[in-house]
Amino acid sequence: MSAAGKETSPSTFNRAELLALLKQELDKNGNLSKAVMTSLADKTGLPLNEIYGVSTFYAYLPVAAAGKNIIRVCGCLPCDIKDARGVVGSIKKELGIDPGQTTADVKFSLEQVGCIGACDQAPAMMINDTLYGNLTPARIAEILKSFK
């Protein structure tokens, strides 16, 4: 188990720690840019394409630059029938962005995602690690305003 602050080197690197390592880099850098991936390849001894392959596979390992706060709106069936599209519309009204975009002030990014496990509170979204359910246009505006 790699402890925080322990230096990784090719001879000591255990591939089981890769996901945790990528997340540590995300906390520091906000996204896994080519520069970050290249430095990880050096540190771990893995080829760059392996780092790239793993990073691009997972939804929570953004490769492109992302906003400080990531909004993830669920579009799956229970949320879709409770107007998940309206949630996306409300967010567009408040922030001016569509899914896949980031606000000009880099405060928010918006993504459309699969089920987040809040089907009984549909429609629902996550902002970073917090879940918000039973959304209405008023509640969405209130939630977004609460992010300074």
Partner 1 sequence: MAEKRIVLGNCGVIDPQNIETYLAKGGFKAFVKARDKMKPQGIIEEIKKSGLTGRGGAGFPCGLKWELARNTKAKTKYLICNADEGEVGQFKDKYLLSKDPFTLIEGMLIAGLAIGAQQAYIYLRAEYHSIFDLLAKAVKQAKEKGFLKHTDIRVFEGAGAYICGEESALMNSIEGQRGESRYKPPYPPTSGLWDMPTIINNVETLMNVPHIINNGAAWFSAMGTKRSKGSKVFCVSGDVARPGIYELEMGSPLKELVVDLAGAKDIKAVQVGGSAGAILPVRMIDTPLSHETCLGSGAVVVLNTDRDIVDIVYNNMHFLNEESCGKCTPCREGSEVMLEILGRLIRGDGESGDISKLEDLARAMALASLCGLGQAAAVPVLDSLKYFRDEYTDRIDQSLFLRSYLGSESYKSEEVVI
Site residues (vs partner 1, CB under 8 A) = 1, 15-20, 22-23, 53-54, 57-61, 75-78, 80-81, 113-122, 126, 129-131
DSSP 44-86: H---HHHHHHHHHH-TTS--S---SEEEEEE-SHHHHTTTHHH
Looking at beta carbons only, is 77 or 104 nearer to partner 1? 77
The distance of Cα 31 from the centroid of its chain, to the nearest Å, equals 9
Q: At its nearest, how many Å lie between partner 1 and the CB of residue 82?
A: 8
Looking at beta carbons only, is 49 or 96 nearer to partner 1? 49
- Per the omega criterion (within 30 degrees of 0), is the bond before 137 cis? no
Q: At its nearest, how many Å lie between partner 1 and the CB of residue 84?
A: 10
Residue 33: CB partners within 8 Å, gap ≥ 6? 63, 65
Looking at beta carbons only, is 37 or 113 nearer to partner 1? 113
Q: At its nearest, how many Å lie between partner 1 and the CB of residue 137?
A: 21
Looking up tokens 């906000």, which residue turns up? Answer: 30
Looking at beta carbons only, is 35 or 57 nearer to partner 1? 57
